[in-house]
Structure 1
Amino acid sequence: MTFDLLNIVTALGALGLFVYGMKTMSEGIQRVAGPWIRHLLSDLTQSTAGGIANGFLTTVIVQSSSATTVMMVSFVNAGIMKLKQAINVIMGANIGTTSTAVLITLIGFSPFNVTIWGLPMLAIAFPLLFANSSTIRSLGEFFVGFGLFILGLVLIKANIPTINEFPEIAELIASVQINSFLLFLIFVTIGALFTVVIQSSSASLVITLTLAANGFIDFEQAAAMVLGENIGTTVTANLAANIGNVHAKRAARAHSIFNVFGVVWMLLAFPFFIDGIATFTNWVIGYSPLDVNPASEQYQYAVNWGVAFFHIAFNLANTFIFVWFTDIVVNLVVRLLPSQGKIDKEYTLEFIDRGPMGTPELSLLEAKKEMAKFGWLTEKMLNYFTELFNSKERKITDKRIRKLKKYENITDRIELEIADYLMKVSRGELTSQTSERVRSMLRISSELERIGDLFFQMTITMEKKIEDRIWFTPEQRSNIQEMLEMLREAFEVMNNNLKDDVTDENIARAKEIKRKIMQRKEEIRKSHFKSVELGDYNIHSGLVYNDLFNACEKITENVTNVTEAMYNKMAEQQAQSNSRT
C-alpha cells in the first residue's frame, strides 16, 4: 500500500476513535460499577495488600490507570486517603493497566478474528441506550465504547503498513549501528513523549504494538517504549495535582518516582529480563519474539504477546521491589514538597472546582468526605464559642472572636463551593440512589452553613456584651453553658454520622439527644420568663441571654435536620433496595 497524507490522517482518526472508545467504555463501566468501586475505595485500602488489590481491580474495571491515579490524587487532596494508602493503590493501578495490553493483543493481534464483533457490539448497545434504567443505559455506553475500541483497533492496523512494503526503510534500519544503551534510552524517550503528547498510555501502547507487529521496531525496542510509556503516564496525575494542595502533589510525585525508579533498575537488568520474557513467551504460546522470522505470520502474534508479558512482569517486579520502600518514598516526597504551614492545613474546597471530576458515584466519595470536614468545622466553631463564653481574659476573647468571624466566612464559601460541585455532579447520568444522595448532601450543606451563620450572630452578640460590659447572673451563665454542653453531644453524633455510614443506633441516639435538649429548653424558657416577670434580670442581660438562647435552639434544629437528612437518605435507599428484592 502507498502511505500518503490521507493514510496518515486516517490512522490518526482511527487512533482518535480508539481513544474515544476507551473513554466511553471506561465511563460506562464506572457508572455501572460505581457502588462496588466505592466499597473498594472505602474498605480495601487500610492494608498494603488491600490497597494494591484495590488499585489493580479498579484499573482492570475502568481500563484506565490514569483515571485511577488522578482519582487517588483527588482523594489525597480531599483527605479521603493518606499518602501511603494512595501509593499502594497507585502501585496496584500500574499492575492493572497491563490488562489493556492483554486486551489489545487478544482482540487485535490474536489468530482468532475477534475484530468482527465491533459492529455487533454497537448493535447490542443501541437498544440499551434508550432504556429507562440509568444502569442499563450506562451498560449500553460500555458496549458502545467497546465496539468503537474494536473498530478503532481494526482501522489502526489497516492504515499502518508493514515494513515489508518499505524495503528502503528496512535497509536503513538494518544499517544503523547504535550503542544498545543509547538505543534503549532513545526508545524509552519516544515512548514517554508519545504518551505525554497523546495523554493516553493505552493509545501509545496500541501504536507500539502495531509498529512492532508490522516490523518497524523489534521486541526489545517495543519493550523499551513500554517503559517510556510508564513514565509518560505519570504526567496526567502531576497535571491534576498542580491545582491541588501539597498532599495531592506528593501523591503525584510518588507515582513519578515509582515509575522512573522502575526504568532505572530495568536499565541494568534489561538484557536478562528480555531473555527471560522471550523464554516464557515461547513456553506459553510456542513462539519466541526473539527467534521468530519477522516475515512470518507468527511474528506479530509472538512479539505482541512478548510485549504484553514484559509489561506485566515489569510492573509486578517493580511493585514487589517498591513495596518495601514505601515509607522511604513517603519521607522523600514530604522532604521534596514540605508543608507550607497553615496554607496547607487550612480547610479549602478549591480542588472540587478546578480538579478532575470522575463519574457521579466516585465524585460523591469526595463530596462525602468534604461534608464530614464541614461538620467538623462547625463543631470547631462550637468549641471556639464555648471558650469565648467562658473566658474572662480580653486577649483570649478577642482572639476567639477573630477566629469565629474568619470561620463564618469559610463556611459561607464552603457551602457555595459544595453546592456548585454537587450541581456539576448532578449533570451526569445519575442512578436514583445517587440522585437522592446529591439532594441529601445539598440539604446537609445548607444546614451546616446556617449553623456557621448562627455562631457568627452569637459571636457578634458576645462582642457587644463585652464592649458594653453586660454581666450575666450565675443562673443565666449556667443555663447557656448547659445548652452548649448538650449541643456538644449533638454535634458529636452528627459528625459521627457524617463521617461513617449512618446506623439505626446513631439515629436513635440523635433523636434521644434532641428530645433531651427540647425538654430542657422548655424548662429553661419557663424559668427565664418567670425570672423576667420577677425582675431578677436587668433588661440588657436579659436581651443578650435571650439572643444566645434562641440561637442555641436554632442550632439544635439545624443539627437535627442534618441527621434527619441522612436518615431520610438511608430510608430511601433501603426502600429502593427492598423494592428490587
Structure 2
Amino acid sequence: MIYEILLATLGGLGLFLFGMHLMSDALQKIAGSGLRRILEKLTTNRVVAVLAGTAITAIIQSSSATTVMTVGLVNAGLMSLQQALGIILGANIGTTVTAQIVAFKLTDIALPLVGIGTFMKILSKREKVRYWGDFLLGFGLLFYGMLVMQGGVMPLRDAPWVCDIFVHFSTIPVLGVLVGAVMTMIFQSSSATVGLVIALATTGVVDFPGAAALVLGDNIGTTITANLAAIGTNVSAKRVARAHFIFNFFGVCVMLLIFPYFVQFVDYLTPGDPMQMAEAGALPYAARHVANLHTLFNVTNCMLFLPIMGVLGWVASLITPGEEKPRVFRLETLVPTIFETPSFALDEARQELDYMGNEVFKMLSAAEKPLLENKETEKFLEEIDKTENIVDSLQKEINTYLTELSRNSITEKQSREVFSMLQIVSNLERIGDHCESIGKLCKRRNEFNLDFSEEGRKELSLIYHHTQMFLKTVVDAITDTPDDLMEQVQSFEPKLNAMRWEMRIKHMERLKTAKCHADAGLIFIDILTSFEKIGDHAYNIAESLSGLTLGGSRELRYAAV
C-alpha cells in the first residue's frame, strides 16, 4: 500500500512540476525579452515596483524566474537595492496566482487540454501557436497531476500514524513551518509544495491549520532560489537575496505569533467549511482556503514591509558587509538556473557583449597619442596588453556561456540571436588584435627612430578618427540597436576603403619624391591596413546586429583576417 501511495504521489507531483515548467517556459517564450525591459522601466517607485513584480510573476507563473532576473539586474548595475526589494515583494504575491488557479476544480478538462495542446504543438508550423500549445499542455498536465496526487494521498487519511504526524502541525505550527521549508528547498518550487499541500488538505490527510503551517514554511523555503542566484554576484545582488529571506522569515515569525487568529481570519473570509466532506470523500472548500491563506499572507507581508523598505535594505546591508569589487566576468558567475529563462540569459550575454565592445573601443581610443603625436607609446602598450587579455577572456567566457545556452530549450529566433552574438564576439576579438598590431607598429617606429611626413600624419589622423567614429557607432548599437543601423554604417566602410587606397597612392608618390622614409612607409601601409580590417569587422558586427533586430537570418560577410 505504501509503495502504491508513494508511486502515485511522486508521479502526480512529477506531472504537476512538468506542467508548471511547460507553462512557465511557454509564457516566457511568448513574452520574450520584454519582461526584463518592464522590470527595468517600471521600478520608478516602490509601489510601481511591487505591481511590476506581481504582474510579471503572475504572467510567467514563476517567482524563481522573476527573482533570478532581479538579482541579475542588480548585479549588472541596472537596478538599485530598493527597486529590487519592491520587485521581489511583488513576486511573492504573484506566485500565489498559481495556487488560486489550482484551487479551481478544473480536473475534468485536464485531459482535453492535454490533447488540444499536443495537437497545436505537433500540427502547427507557426512558432507562437506551438508555444500556446505548450501552455495548454502544461496547464492540463498541472491539473491532471493534482488529480493523481489527490488519488495517491487519499488512503493516508485512514492511516492513524499519518494522522498522528500531521496533527502536530496544528498544535505545534513551528514543526509544520520547518517541514514546509524543507519541502520547498527540495522541490525548488513553492508552487509544487503548495500544490502538494492542497492535495493533502482536499483529501483530509491534513487539517486546515496544519496546511497553513506548511504553506508558511513554503514561503521561507522559496527564498533559497534568490540566494542560489546571488552566488558569485556583487554585494548589492547578495543583499537583495538576503533581504528576500529576511522579509519572508520575519513575516512568518509574525504570523506564528498570531497563528490561531490568522487561520480563523482566513476561514472567516473564505466561504465554506474547510473540513466539510462531500459525498465523494473530498473536502471541496479546503483548496480555496489554502490558496487564500497563501495569498493573504504575502499581501499582508508586503503591506508590513513596504513602508519600511529602507530599514529592510539597511538590515540586508548590515548582514552582508563589503564594498563593490572591481568588475568580474559576470557570465562565469551566473548559476545554471539562469538558462531556465532564455530571454533574460540572452540579455545578460548582450550586456557582457556591450562591455567587451567598450573595452575594444578603449583600445582604439588609447592609440591616438602614440599614433598621431608619437607620445605615451609605452603607456599605450601596457594598456593594450592588459585590455587584450581582458578581451580574450571575455571571448572565451561569452562563447562558453552562449554554447551552454544553445543546448537549452530556446526559440528559433533566440537560436539566431545566439549565432549572431557568437559572430559579434569573434569580430570584436579580431578588432582587439588589430589594435594590438597598431601598438606594435608604433613601438617599431620608435625603436628605429622613424617618423612620418606632415602629409602622412594628417592622413593618419583622418583615417583614425573616421575608423574611431565607425567603431563607436557600432559599439553603441550593441545594447540598443537602431532599425537604421545599416544605413548609418553604409557610408563608413566604402569611405574607409577609399581613404586607404587614396592614401596608399599618395604615400607611393611621397616615396618617389623622397618625402617619406622607406622603412617608415612600410609601417604607414601596415597601419592603414589595420584600420581597413577594423572597419571590415565593424561592418560585420553591424550586419549581425541588424540580423538580431530584424529577427531574421542574415548572411554574414567574413572579413579577411
What TM-score, normalized by structure 2, do the two folds share? 0.86
Provide the C-alpha distance between the structure 1 equivalents of 2:161 and 2:413, rounded to a whole number of angstroms: 62
- Residue of structure 1 equivalent to 2:511: 532
Provide the C-alpha distance between the structure 1 equivalents of 2:147 and 2:26, rounded to a whole number of angstroms: 22
- Residue of structure 1 equivalent to 2:111: 119
Counterpart residue type for residue 32 of structure 2: G
Provide the C-alpha distance between the structure 2 equivalents of 1:127 and 1:38, rounded to a whole number of angstroms: 31
Asked if residue 547 in structure 1 is aligned to residue 526 in structure 2, the reply is: yes
Deviations 1:363-422 (A, max 9, x none): 3222222222222221122233335546777xx543432231122232233233333433
Provide the C-alpha distance between the structure 1 equivalents of 2:377 and 2:302, rounded to a whole number of angstroms: 54
Note if contact 2:466-2:496 (Cα within 8 Å) is conserved in structure 1: yes
Counterpart residue type for residue 370 of structure 1: E
- Residue of structure 1 equivalent to 2:441: 461
What TM-score, normalized by structure 1, do the two folds share? 0.84
Q: Pick the aligned partner of 1:487 from 463, 467, 471.
A: 467
Deviates more, 1:490-499 or 1:75-84: 75-84
* Distance change >3 Å, CA 386–CA 269, structure 1 → 2: farther
Matches within 5 A, 1:3-402: 3-34=1-32, 36-37=34-35, 40-41=38-39, 43-79=41-77, 81-107=79-105, 114-130=106-122, 131-161=124-154, 165-166=158-159, 170=163, 183-281=172-270, 285=271, 287=272, 289=274, 300-334=283-317, 336-339=320-323, 341-342=325-326, 345-351=327-333, 356-389=338-371, 397-402=377-382
Note if contact 2:500-2:529 (Cα within 8 Å) is conserved in structure 1: no
* Distance change >3 Å, CA 327–CA 443, structure 1 → 2: farther
Counterpart residue type for residue 127 of structure 2: S
Provide the C-alpha distance between the structure 2 equivalents of 1:239 and 1:117, rounded to a whole number of angstroms: 37
- Residue of structure 1 equivalent to 2:426: 446
Counterpart residue type for residue 560 of structure 1: Y
Identity within the alignment, %: 33
Deviations 1:340-373 (A, max 9, x none): 632xx14443146856302544432222222222
Counterpart residue type for residue 153 of structure 2: I
Note if contact 1:502-1:566 (Cα within 8 Å) is conserved in structure 2: no
Cα offset for 1:153?
0.7
Cα offset for 1:520?
4.5
* Distance change >3 Å, CA 572–CA 190, structure 1 → 2: closer
RMSD: 3.4
Cα offset for 1:89?
2.5
* Distance change >3 Å, CA 318–CA 204, structure 1 → 2: same
Provide the C-alpha distance between the structure 2 equivalents of 1:330 and 1:407, rounded to a whole number of angstroms: 36
Note if contact 1:30-1:62 (Cα within 8 Å) is conserved in structure 2: yes
Provide the C-alpha distance between the structure 2 equivalents of 1:474 and 1:456, rounded to a whole number of angstroms: 24
What's the secondary structure of 2:339's corresponding residue? coil
Provide the C-alpha distance between the structure 1 equivalents of 2:543 and 2:365, rounded to a whole number of angstroms: 23
Counterpart residue type for residue 530 of structure 1: E
Provide the C-alpha distance between the structure 2 equivalents of 1:70 and 1:371, rounded to a whole number of angstroms: 20
What's the secondary structure of 1:323's corresponding residue? helix
Cα offset for 1:233?
0.9
- Residue of structure 2 equivalent to 1:421: 401
What's the secondary structure of 1:132's corresponding residue? coil
* Distance change >3 Å, CA 164–CA 544, structure 1 → 2: closer
Deviations 1:22-57 (A, max 9, x none): 222222332233255355345434554443333223
What's the secondary structure of 1:357's corresponding residue? helix
Provide the C-alpha distance between the structure 1 equivalents of 2:282 and 2:323, rounded to a whole number of angstroms: 53
Deviates more, 1:294-303 or 1:55-64: 294-303
- Residue of structure 2 equivalent to 1:563: 542
Matches within 5 A, 1:517-528: 517-518=496-497, 520-528=499-507
Size of the alignment, in residue pairs? 552
Provide the C-alpha distance between the structure 1 equivalents of 2:335 and 2:162, rounded to a whole number of angstroms: 50
What's the secondary structure of 1:300's corresponding residue? coil
* Distance change >3 Å, CA 173–CA 493, structure 1 → 2: closer
Note if contact 1:71-1:358 (Cα within 8 Å) is conserved in structure 2: no
Cα offset for 1:534?
1.6
Structure 2 stretches of 5 or more lacking a match?
555-561
What's the secondary structure of 1:317's corresponding residue? helix
- Residue of structure 2 equivalent to 1:110: none
* Distance change >3 Å, CA 469–CA 247, structure 1 → 2: farther
Asked if residue 408 in structure 1 is aligned to residue 397 in structure 2, the reply is: no
Provide the C-alpha distance between the structure 1 equivalents of 2:119 and 2:157, rounded to a whole number of angstroms: 44
Note if contact 1:353-1:421 (Cα within 8 Å) is conserved in structure 2: no
What's the secondary structure of 1:149's corresponding residue? helix
- Residue of structure 1 equivalent to 2:557: none
Counterpart residue type for residue 292 of structure 2: F
Counterpart residue type for residue 303 of structure 1: A
What's the secondary structure of 1:301's corresponding residue? coil
Counterpart residue type for residue 421 of structure 1: Y
Provide the C-alpha distance between the structure 2 equivalents of 1:60 and 1:487, rounded to a whole number of angstroms: 48
